[in-house]
A and B are shown apart, each in its own frame.
Chain A
Amino acid sequence: MRNIIVAVSIAALGVPLVSVSLMAHHGAAALDTGKEITLKGTVTEWIWSNPHCFLQFDAKDDTGNVRNWAVETQNPTAMTQRGWSRTSFKAGDEVTVTLEPVRNGQPIGRLLTVVLPNGEKLVAATATSAP
């Protein structure tokens, strides 16, 4: 229900899914443009702040080692318009995160979507179009 509400809200608000200010503070050059990965993990922190909110979560890599990822969204104002809030996540939530990683291999990236344990899907953005 919640993802329906978010989707309807986005459509109703006319808010573009591709942000006009995402990565405004370090440029999209750091991103692997167009690349998407999906990880299952456990939320460690949800930071609701300017200039951008970001979600931190633990997820195992291909070798079974746990890495703590940090993936950014937009600012609280823009995320509020998309139906997100300060209480969208809490530590310990099991989530499935689709993200666009940075080029340098660090566990950093741009958050695209999150699926909550109950199947609800929150949409933050679409991947950057590959050049």
Chain B
Amino acid sequence: MRPRLVVLIAAAVAVFAAALPLAQMKPWNNAGLSGPPSGPAGPAPRRDLSGTWDAGNAGIQPTGHVAAPFTPRGEQMAKANKPGNGSRLVSVNDDNDPLSTMGDPTGFPRIVLYELRPFQIVQTSNQVLILYMFEKRWRVIWTDGRALPTNPDPRWYGYSVGRWIDDSTLVVNSVGTDDRTWIDNAGNPHSNSLRVEERYHRVNQRTMELTVTLDDPVVYTKPWVAVDKLQINLMPNGSDLMEMIPSASEAAAYRRVIASQAKTK
């Protein structure tokens, strides 16, 4: 074999061998970050939240939140909700959580306040899209300057608009949520008058903080902060997220085999 050909073949093999481990470093079905990032972080890019993010276990609130005091109407609504967790927990046979017993959508803001699993943010010229691993749902946040709708038809995930208040903070305001959804696992209710503010503050290249404030004068006597500066970390570029879909058939199998058999009365 001529020496030049041998060199070419050797070079091709080397390139292939180098590319192989790189390809193997891109796993499918990522369940989330293995821990907080370490090492120095770069500066936050200007007005950019794009990427895949994970708050880890801090994003999951199985027992719900301590809400502001109820109004009389809120008290009435809360009594109708029979949660499987939190301070008003009931027996499994009385649980009427629309998510876990009926397969209803989690809805907004519960998807942020209960199962904030990893999510991806995609920015376009006039939208911020949030793609949630949990339920494989998405939200559209309009950033084109439009106003929120007045008296909108309720939607499971509401109506959202966003604006940058500085180069690293996006404030999202939402209305028009569906009062069939709960706020959290504790059965805290909301009305169709609920207004939600989410504040996404990018601290640096790999970290942002989320603060969520709820204002629902029909149900609560004052606005309250449900999430306060929750740290959310950027996942590696190319992270492929698992599906985490609470399907009705799987939930029914779980209730039949486990939950209904575990009842205490």
Binding site for B on A (CB under 8 A): 12-16, 20-21, 24-27, 29-31, 47, 49-52, 54, 56, 70, 72, 75-78, 80-81, 102-104, 106, 108
Contacts and interface: CB of A to CB of B under 8 A. Distances in A.
B264 A51 contact: no
A108 B262 contact: yes
B107 interface: no
Contacts of A76: 242, 244
Contact of B57 (A16, A26, A27): A16
B259 A25 contact: yes
Contacts of A54: 254, 257-258
B104 to A, nearest CB: 14
Contact of B32 (A31, A72, A81): A81
Given A14-B34, A70-B261, A77-B31, A27 B244 contact: no
B92 A26 contact: yes
A37 B143 CA distance: 56
Contact of A49 (B32, B84, B89, B250): B250
A12 B89 CA distance: 34
Given A51-B254, A103-B264, 18 more contacts: A15-B57, A24-B63, A25-B84, A25-B85, A25-B95, A26-B258, A30-B262, A50-B247, A50-B251, A52-B254, A70-B258, A75-B244, A76-B242, A77-B31, A77-B32, A80-B29, A104-B262, A104-B263
26 contacts: A12-B35, A14-B34, A15-B57, A20-B57, A20-B60, A21-B62, A24-B84, A25-B84, A26-B84, A26-B92, A26-B263, A30-B262, A30-B264, A49-B247, A50-B250, A50-B254, A51-B251, A70-B257, A70-B258, A76-B242, A102-B261, A104-B262, A104-B263, A106-B261, A108-B258, A108-B261
Interface string B108-144: 0000000001000000000000000100000000000
- Counting chain B residues whose Cβ lies within 8 A of the other chain, the interface size class is 35 or more
Interface centre among A25, A31, A49 (most CB of B within 10 A): A25
Contacts of A24: 62-63, 84-85, 185
Contacts, number: 102
Interface of B: 29, 31-32, 34-35, 57, 60, 62-63, 84-85, 89, 91-92, 95, 97, 100, 117, 133, 185, 242, 244-247, 250-251, 253-254, 257-259, 261-264
B264 A104 contact: yes
Contacts of A31: 262
Nearest to B97: A25
Contacts of B264: 29-30, 102-104
A75 B63 CA distance: 16
A49, A51, A80 pick with most chain B CB within 10 angstroms: A51
Nearest to A104: B264
A106 B34 contact: no
B261 to A, nearest CB: 5
B258 A52 contact: yes
Contacts of A72: 254, 258
B96 to A, nearest CB: 12
Contacts of B92: 25-27, 30
